Amino acid sequence: MADKAFDDGHVTVNGYNLYFKSFGNEEKGTVLTVHGGPGLTHDYMLSIADLAQYGYRVVFYDQLGCGKSDLPKNIALYTIDRAVEDLEGFRDAMNLGKVHMLGSSYGGLLAIAYALIYQKHLKSLVTTGGIDDMELTISEMMRMKSELPKDVLATMAKYEEAGEYTDPEFAKVLEPFYKTYFCRLDPWPKELVYSMEHVSPVVYNTMNGPNEFTIIGNIRHWKVSQEQLHTIHVPTLVTCGKYDEVSPKVAKSIHRGIEGSKFVMFQNSSHLAMWEEREKYIQVVTNFLDNIGKKKASSRKIKR
């Protein structure tokens, strides 16, 4: 991550204050990042601030109920529809204009949902471990879970049957899944640890559920059809890790749906290629964004 000074503060969006952090200047454009969870903080995405070294302004924000943003207790506020409107409200309140939107995990889902309504405000779309179909995502997670050691599965089953998802021993037995399919680095980056330790229980439990593969919250049945994806016409980069908890099958579904999209799978990564293969990830995203700029410049030259 670039160790340069950053701007941060709060902006009011739909009646609540959302925290932001901004790196670099917009010489080549603005990258608006969308974090996952639901319920994490923006911090685990901070390696993407490396893009500031290549001429991009990189803006992070904490979604409603997360991190340093307002934390209302009304769970009716925590829906995908509301999050999309907050994302658009944040872009507008920050005067960002047309942006390159980069969403990670649930943030990739949110970026797709945003593009279906507001793609006129996008220069491009990037999803990293993003989601277009929760049923497929859950099915693939169950497959990955089934491949864990039998003793781990037996212990998991004991706590799941008792509904004791918050028991420290259950959290410990989840480690093999997280270290295989979520982040394969050892130790985890401090920014990721911070986000995990400061997850919003209200948002996470309401929208997702008690853990990564027990998805019983209100995003459980969310799905975008291939026909809907076909309506997205902005330049799109779809990425995932080879061992991603959001299976490469999901990423390939997004890639199939968005005509002309580019697909990149990081061979040594699980869910967080921006850390697991940081240098390569930044280069892939930079090349994608720079190429958009070159194509537009070439188009303008031809029109003259």
pLDDT tens, position by position, 183-197: 999 999 999 999 999
Is residue 100 annotated as a catalytic residue, yes or no? Answer: no
% of the chain residues with pLDDT over 90: 83
User: Does residue 229 carry a pLDDT above 50?
Assistant: yes
Q: Which of 105, 200, 261, 269 is catalytic?
A: 105
Q: The pTM is what? A: 0.94
Whole-number pLDDT of residue 298 = 54
User: Does residue 1 carry a pLDDT above 70?
Assistant: no
Whole-number pLDDT of residue 303 = 45
Q: Which of 43, 50, 132, 244 is catalytic?
A: 244
Whole-number pLDDT of residue 147 = 92
Whole-number pLDDT of residue 297 = 57
User: Model confidence over 66-114: pLDDT tens digits?
Assistant: 999 999 999 999 999 999 999 999 999 999 999 999 999 999 999 999 9
One DSSP character per residue, 119-165 reads GGGEEEEEEES--SBHHHHHHHHHHHHHTS-HHHHHHHHHHHHHT-T
d(CA 285, CA 95): 23
Is residue 225 annotated as a catalytic residue, yes or no? Answer: no
Q: In terms of residues, how long is the chain?
A: 304
pLDDT band (50, 70, 90) for residue 2? very low
Is residue 230 annotated as a catalytic residue, yes or no? Answer: no
Per CATH, which fold does 7-142+190-303 belong to? Rossmann fold (3.40.50)
Sheet holding 122-128, edge to edge: 7-13, 16-23, 57-61, 30-34, 99-104, 122-128, 236-241, 262-266
Tell me the pLDDT of the chain averaged across its residues.
Answer: 94
User: Model confidence over 247-291: pLDDT tens digits?
Assistant: 999 999 999 999 999 999 999 999 999 999 999 999 999 999 999
User: Does residue 212 carry a pLDDT above 90?
Assistant: no
Please give the C-alpha separations between residue 54 and each of 31, 48, 255, 283, 301, in angstroms, as whole numbers.
Answer: 12, 11, 26, 10, 23
Sorted by where each begins, the domain ranges of the chain are 7-142+190-303
